Structure 1
Amino acid sequence: MAISRVIASWGCSYLLQKTDPDAFCYSFPVRLTTETGRVVKWRGRSFMGVCAGPLAKPATPVGDENPPSLPSAPPPVELQRVVDPASGNESRKLLKDLASLPKPLSVTDLSASPSSGSNVRVAYQGVPGAYSEAAALKAYPECEAVPCDQFEAAFKAVELWLVDKAVLPIENSLGGSIHRNYDLLLRHRLHIVGEVQLAVNHCLLGLPGVRMEDLKRVLSHAQALAQCEITLSKLGVIRESVDDTAGAAQFIASNNLKDAAAVASARAAEIYGLNVLAERIQDDPENITRFLILAREPIIPRTDRAFKTSIVFTLEEGPGVLFKALAVFAMRNINLTKIESRPQRKRPLRVVDDSNTGSAKYFDYLFFIDFEASMADSRAQNALGHLQEFATFLRVLGCYPMDTAL
């Protein structure tokens, strides 16, 4: 029965596929380089599907799953501090302090050995002072936060055991969904084990002695600049987009830019020796970012507290098919908290002959859904068993405790 497959698959994998109900496994080589330069080859083995039964061939990848190897990212650009002769000692001290900050991991240097510390190592995208770092510290106050230059590097750092967890943004109350991370959830075999909701407080940061009337340009992430449209329009400054908010603060401090400011967090001002020229400059004071906590293994679902489950699935083309998919939750009184659709990259169009004039072309979509129920709840098990009967692909991305505190 479809329901029994859903229940049995919990312990080993989150992948349910109508065309491949049995289990399968795949192996993957990992090439590690030790500190002495010796190359060690290791082959890992991962089991997907139900815990018992014969092994079958791997299912056909859906959407962005198992893409070809990405090209190596270019080496990060190192910023050099311009020393002001009038304050040479202070500038040299600041440059020394910035050099002591951890260098963000990139996709090209993920062969480094993890530290032997006892603290949980949590990867995030950005540099120290980023909102993602604040989310990681909220989830794990005693953790060792590890910066990464890209979302992809954070995913790979978890897969290669360089860190224990990754905390990455998935949606913002003003900017909407972070689609890049939805795509990466399909490309990588990590599990969602938690979520963090963080209130964002954008500040305008400048070098000591700089006044707001001295500013000619403001640097920050594109979304942060868009969220501060009213304030920046009143200042009449040029807006320059960079990779992340804290990176903008670091760039201003490293280059001693006295005509520029950054939109970033108050913590970034402390780290990079900047002054807070203005606080809460976002247009909407209720600015919340939701982050996902990712790990190599799922957590055991429970029913003694509020849990949320995230899934992704595909459907055949036809009238009322999406209605049927959503009805499996409605008839069991399960609340949906998010619905997101993403075109499949490997098969973006499907041809459907649904008219008298010939065939039509439609986008072929993946549907991401979050619902309020634990996989330990029979309602969730029955709903997914019902959905599997007509879904062409179904994968549970994670079952995890809800974050109800800000």
Structure 2
Amino acid sequence: MIQVSFQGELGAYSEAAAKAFFDEEIKSIPCATFAEVLQSTTDNETDYSILPVENSLEGSVGESYDLLYLTSLNVIGEIYHKIEHCLIGTGKLDEIDTIYSHPQALGQCRKFIQKYNMKSIPTYDTAGSVKIIKELNKTNFACIASKTASVIYDVPVIKKDIANNLNNHTRFLILSKDKSRKTGNDKTSIIFSIKHEPGSLYRIIENFNINKVNLTKIESRPTRTNNWEYNFYVDFEGHEKDSQISEMLKKIKQETVFMKVLGSYPAAKGN
């Protein structure tokens, strides 16, 4: 049975996404932090890691992108997982004044929280917030998590579908020590930093236009080493082993200070 590390407690959305991706029975290994998730696979304690990288409502998960820069693991897959947030607790809706959850979930349910004038308290995980309020055992405390977490920890759902927008999906990446083979419907993710020269970013992006390669995402993140310097995270269609893509990456590398191929992998449905 394959082992997959994820951040949070049993019942977390990351665990649900991992089960959906592999579509078979897996052994889920909960970890306290994203860094521990990746380290467990690096140390051969798990076969795969799963990381949330962006949400359709709240945008990118910065910590995950920063760790992708550092890890030696390869991205071998992606999945877009529907997030269905529930208000979970032992009290009634009009009793609740304090709500616990992961910062991403709190942001995704901001309108609901403001509507009921609730105080929000960030926690390390959505499913973990169910454990917290169960231990606190106060009817005026509730949390935001999945229906699955409600069942696992035996705390009832007070209200379903409380996100700002019900079309709420999170993109997760699957990482491994191995690499993914070409499928003909692939996507490649890279990171690079650019030279401080006029037109340097333009010259890199121009390569995609010349080769008629479709860019699906581009985002900048601070390098955290020098002020006002950035790494660029780019996703595009194609596999790094394609001759055209391989040649394009060589030309891009010549224009960068640093470039890393995170991996080529089958593009998920819904991207």
TM-score normalised per structure 2: 0.95
Map 1:245-394 to 2 at 5 A: 245-303=126-184, 306-346=185-225, 348-349=226-227, 363-394=228-259
Q: How many positions carry a matched residue from both structures?
A: 270
Q: 1:127 deviation in Å?
A: 0.2
2:99 matches 1:218: yes
Cα distance in 1 between the residues matched to 2:180 and 2:50: 16
Q: Residue 111 of structure 1 aligns with which residue?
A: none
Which residue number corresponds to residue 236 of structure 1?
Answer: 117
Of 170, 184, 193, the residue aligned with 2:53 is 170
Q: Quote the Cα distance in structure 2 between the aligned partners of 1:256 and 1:127.
A: 19
Aligned equivalent of 1:196: 79
Aligned match of 2:27: 144
Instruction: Tell me if structure 2 keeps the 8 A contact 1:125–1:151.
Output: yes
Q: For residue 184 of structure 1, give the secondary structure of its aligned residue in structure 2.
A: helix
> Could you tell me the percent identity over the aligned residues?
36
Contact 1:302–1:376 (Cα < 8 Å) also in 2: no
Deviation at 1:185, TM superposition (A): 1.4
- Output the TM-score relative to the length of structure 1: 0.64
| Counterpart-to-counterpart distance in 2, 1:223 and 1:386 | 37
Q: Show the 5 A alignment for 1:111-130.
A: 119-130=1-12
What RMSD in Å do the two structures reach over aligned CA positions? 1.4
| TM-aligned CA deviation for residue 225 of structure 1 | 1.5
Which runs of structure 1 show a deviation greater than 4 angstroms over 4 or more consecutive aligned residues?
A: none
Q: Is there any run of 5+ residues in structure 2 with no aligned partner, and where?
A: none
2:197 partner letter: G
Letter in 2 for 1:132: S
Unaligned segments of structure 1, at least 5 residues: 1-118, 350-362
Deviations 1:252-310 (A, max 9, x none): 1233222211111010110111111111111111111000101012122332xx10000
- Compare relative contact order (CA 8 Å, sep 6+) and give the higher one, 1 or 2: 2
Three-state SS of the structure 2 residue aligned to 1:339 is strand
SS of residue matched to 1:314: strand
**Offset from partner CA, 1:136-184 (integer Å, 9 cap, x none):** 1111231101100000111110011100000110111111111111111
Flag the 1:368–1:405 CA change in 2: closer, same or farther, 3 A: closer
SS of corresponding position for 2:44: coil
Larger Rg: 1
Which of the residues 4, 7, 16 maps onto 1:134?
16
Q: Which amino acid aligns with 1:307?
A: D
- TM-aligned CA deviation for residue 196 of structure 1: 1.1
Q: How far is 1:379 from its partner?
A: 2.2
Distance 2:115 2:33 in 1: 33
Distance 1:312 1:239 in 2: 35
Question: What CA distance in whole angstroms lies between the structure 1 residues aligned with 2:14 and 2:107?
Answer: 18
CA distance in 1, matches of 2:104, 2:221: 20
